[in-house]
Amino acid sequence: MNRPALTHRSRSLISLTVLVVVIGLGDAAAQDASLLRQPIASSARPPLQPENVSLIYALPEPPKTVQLHDTLTVVVNINTRVLSEGDVENRKTASFNSVLTDWLHFDGFSLKPDRQANGDQRVAAQLDSQFRAEADLESRDTLTFTIAAQVVDIRPNGNLVIEAHRKIRINEEVWELTLGGVVSRKDIDPNNSVTSDKIAELRIDKKEVGQVRDAYRRGWFQKFYNTYLMPF
């Protein structure tokens, strides 16, 4: 049985298919789990980077450019605890005995001995003191708040000088907060905030005015007693 002759169009399609297969086999490689790839002289491939080969790698956010008069959020969280114990004991013993055996009197321009009619003058004293003190001190302070600070200066090394002021008034109660310090750019979080433990030269001033403050503040007599009478 004779096979039908190939037409010119069929021969062209077969030739094109063979050419594509041959070109594809020139760069064909088996499936490999390795991340290393053989260099190809015909084309330069980029170097391996985590963002090119990892499915879970995320590019870190670039550091924010903070300029003069920009605003930062300062998170203050300070917890302090002081525990002190003291025990003091002091004893003193002293004796003093003095006798005046001779005395002088003026006779014109001359000095002559003067006898004591009631005998020699004598001074005697004795001191015996004992002091003992025991003291225990335990103090706990907690200060937590968030405040917006402004960059007021940039030092030559790039560190930022910040200041923050807040004043809250509710009827007769007034709270004033003032904060200052120096922050390094690398300590600023991506959300443009910084914690108080990363601020150098930290200064915090908290002032209260009102009935609540009047309830526990010291009066003038207590201040006078603690300042001038307490040492005695």
Question: With 50 as the cut, is the pLDDT of residue 1 above it?
Answer: no
Per-residue pLDDT tens over the stretch 119-162: 777 888 888 888 888 888 788 888 899 999 999 999 999 999 99
Higher pLDDT, residue 17 or 64: 64
Residue position matching structure tokens 């001191």 = 127
**Would you state the torsion angle of the CA atoms of residues 17, 18, 19, 24, taken in this order, to the nearest 10 degrees?**
90
Helix ranges, the chain (H): 8-25, 50-53, 211-216, 220-224
User: In this predicted structure, what is the pLDDT of residue 104?
Assistant: 73
Return the C-alpha torsion angle 91, 95, 96, 97, nearest 10: 170
Q: How many residues does the chain have?
A: 232
Neighbours of 85 (CB within 10 A): 9
Task: Tell me the mean pLDDT in the region 170-186.
Answer: 90
What mean pLDDT is reported for the chain? 77
pTM of the predicted model as reported, rounded to 2 decimal places? 0.51
Of the chain, the end-to-end C-alpha distance in Å amounts to 136
- Which region, left, alpha or beta, applies to residue 60 given φ > 0 means left and ψ of -120 to 50 means alpha? beta
- Residue ranges of the domains in the chain? 71-81+141-226, 84-137
